[in-house]
Structure formats: C-alpha cells, structure tokens
Amino acid sequence: MQSINAAIVGGTGYTGAELLRLLSQHPQVNIMSISSRSEAGNPVADLFGSLRGQIDLSFTDPSELDPSNVDVVFYATPNGIAMQQVPELLEKGVKVIDLAADFRLQDINVWEKWYGQQHACPEVVATAAYGLPELNRETIKSAQLIANPGCYATAIQLALYPLLKANLLAPEDIIADGKSGVSGAGRGAAVGSLYSEVAESFKAYKVEGHRHQPEICESLENATGIRPQLIFTPHLLPMIRGIECTIYAKPKADIQTLQQALENAYQDEPFITVLPLGSVPDTASVRGSNNVHISLAQQGQISNMPNRVILMAVEDNLVKGAAGQAVQNMNLAFGFEETMGLNQLGLMP
C-alpha cells in the first residue's frame, strides 16, 4: 500500500501536537508540514519537548502549503479558519479533515446561531461526512471532506446511538452530564486555564447551552431517524486529559436487554469496549489511547425511583475526541486498516 503525504494546519495547539504524535508513528504517512503563523521557522521540538530528538520539522507559514504536494490536510485551527481555505483544497483534489467545528452541522442556520458568524461555504458543508466512524463508516470512506466530531459529542453519541437505534430508550428528556479535562480548552493563555485556577477545583460551564448539543441531536437524528431531546451540561475537571459523560435516559426495556444490545452493537468495533454490568469506566483507562469504554447501570432496586438507566462513557478528549479519531477517519478515507497507527494502549497509571 502506498504511503500518503499529510499536512497539519495550526500546529501549536494540543490537537496539533497530538496529531504529530500519532501521525509520526503511522507507518503509511509522511508528515510534509505543520504550519503556524506565530511559530513559523521554529523547530516543533522547541515547543513540544516530547518531540525533541524524534521529529525533525520546523513550523511553516500557513501560506506555504502546497496542495500539489499533499494527499490530506488536517485542520487543527480555531473554528472559522478551515471554511475559508477548504474549498480551494477540495478543488485541487486534496482530502481534508477538519478537527474544528466548521463542517459539523448540516443545518447552516443552527451553525451560524451557535458559532456566531456567517458560514463561508455553506454549499461545501453538504458534501462533508460527519466523521464518527461507528455511526457513519461508509460515508467517511468515500468522502473528500470529513468533519471530525466534537469531543463530548463523540462520547455521548457512542453511548446513546445503539440504544436509540434499537428503540430501547425514550428519546425525550435525556440528560447528559459531561466532564472534561482542561486540555479541551486548548493551549491558549487564559486565566481560566491556569493551574492555580483549575487544580483542586470543579465547576460547570456553558450551563445555558453548549455547541455540542445541536451537533449530537442532528447527528443522532441522521443516524437513527429519531431526534433526541437532550440537555447537556459540561463541567471542567482538574486534570489534563479525559472526558466522562454520565447520561440519564428512560429505558424501554430491562437493563439486561440494553446491555446485550450495546454489546452486540459494538462487538466488532476495535475501539469501543462495553464493560460488564457492575463495572464503571474511568478516564485513566483510556488515557493516550483511541479507546472508548461504555457501561450501563440502574438504581431500580429502590422503591419510588425515577425510571432511568445510567449510561457512562469515557474517552481521551485529545485522541478519540480529536486527533485519534481524525487518524481513524484518514485510515478509512485512504483505505488503510482502520486501526493503523492507533494501537497504543492507555498510559496507566
């Protein structure tokens, strides 16, 4: 199988660094360039010490990207950048995987409302595949443009999808309580991300609505035919990596049936593990890996309880929630084995 040439646009953030880590160990990928306006000319190892002695690349200016020289471009930029540049790349036959949100929502009105800007290429959005392989694998395989899903959106959908699809959960009044490590906020210098502010503390944020809510609802509707009615509240964890979502939904069958449906749905998925009943997933078990652990529980033994099933899902927000899923999508789009370059086990402890 032939190797491919990849470029990363926006390489100074944590998802860019994680793409470097994963792609540099991918047997079929040559990293042609990683760009950053602010760091152009500087060795990547000066910014990311873990790459010192391992990767001999310097940041380039984004303008130097030569489409004729690359097979795939990863956008690890803030929202609103990729949509300015992607149409031209697509015309030249390059595949694009956007790790930001520019192509995640098919409904442009909803996108513009939640992202607070006009979309630069609504007609291109319609051609984008939503890059959640476990829901959308075949579309991804033939896509030229892939919208890598949001981090929370990945965990919540993977937990809900098989049960909604099998009509084992009521779509109404689903409550998702999400928690993320602070690397999800990126590498920007913000007071709210300082160690002294984040460590030894915990709080909710964006309690009036988070952008992943409409993304989850639209994608699950596309995948199951039913639009779920969902509340999603994110929280900030005093840790670097990891997302956990605890989801409360009304079951339409007993818990053993739900467990069986989950296990069946994911039995052939290389990155999804359904834990046995009685186990709970912890984020440390998936640290640094592309794996997702999911489990189910119920508090039904107590009389006079709400009739709810509890779904829990964990992932590494920088891997399955970002760069790892992007590589998984690239593997699908280029016909590589889906797990190629993604076999690392979680770093524990």
Which residues from 223-252 bind its own copies, rule CB under 8 A?
227, 229-231, 233, 235, 237-242, 244, 246, 248
CB of 144: closest distance to its own copies in angstroms?
30
Residue 314 CB coordination number (10 Å)? 27
Q: In the annotation, is 151 catalytic?
A: yes
Binding to its own copies by residue 347, rule CB under 8 A?
A: yes
Binding to its own copies by residue 62, rule CB under 8 A?
A: no
Among 4, 48, 131, 321, binds its own copies (CB under 8 A): 48
Binding to its own copies by residue 312, rule CB under 8 A?
A: yes
Binding to its own copies by residue 149, rule CB under 8 A?
A: no
Nearest-angstrom CA–CA distance, 207 and 198? 18
Binding to its own copies by residue 1, rule CB under 8 A?
A: no
Closer CB to its own copies, residue 95 or residue 287?
A: 287
Q: Would you list the DSSP string of 16-82?
A: HHHHHHHHTT-TTEEEEEEE-TTTTTSBHHHH-GGGTTT---B-B-GGG--GGG-SEEEE-SPTTSH
Site string for its own copies, 160-179 (x = CB under 8 A): ------------xxxx-x-x
- Contact positions with its own copies (CB under 8 A) in 191-220: 191, 193-205, 207-209, 213-214, 217
Residues 6+ apart with CB under 8 A from 128: 98, 103, 143, 145, 146, 147
Contact 12, 40 (CB under 8 A): no
Closer CB to its own copies, residue 91 or residue 200?
A: 200
Residue 123 CB coordination number (10 Å)? 9
Binding to its own copies by residue 189, rule CB under 8 A?
A: yes
Catalytic site residue from 121, 151, 217, 245? 151
CB of 123: closest distance to its own copies in angstroms?
25
What's the distance, CA 273 to chain centroid?
A: 17
Closer CB to its own copies, residue 40 or residue 226?
A: 226
- Contact positions with its own copies (CB under 8 A) in 7-46: 14, 17, 21, 24-25
| Stretch of 71-79, 87-95, 134-142, 299-307 contacting its own copies, by CB under 8 A | 299-307
How close are the terminal C-alpha atoms of the chain, in Å?
36
Going from the C-alpha of 334 to that of each of 38, 75, 194, 314, 321, the distances in angstroms are: 31, 17, 39, 28, 20
Nearest-angstrom CA–CA distance, 193 and 297? 33
Q: Would you list the DSSP string of 162-174?
A: HHHHTT-B-SSSE
Closer CB to its own copies, residue 22 or residue 332?
A: 22
- Contact positions with its own copies (CB under 8 A) in 85-144: none
Among 183, 224, 290, 325, binds its own copies (CB under 8 A): 183
Instruction: Kindly tell me the burial class for residue 303, based on how many C-beta atoms sit within 10 Å of its own C-beta (0-12, 13-18, 19 or more).
Output: exposed
Which residues participate in catalysis according to the annotation? 151
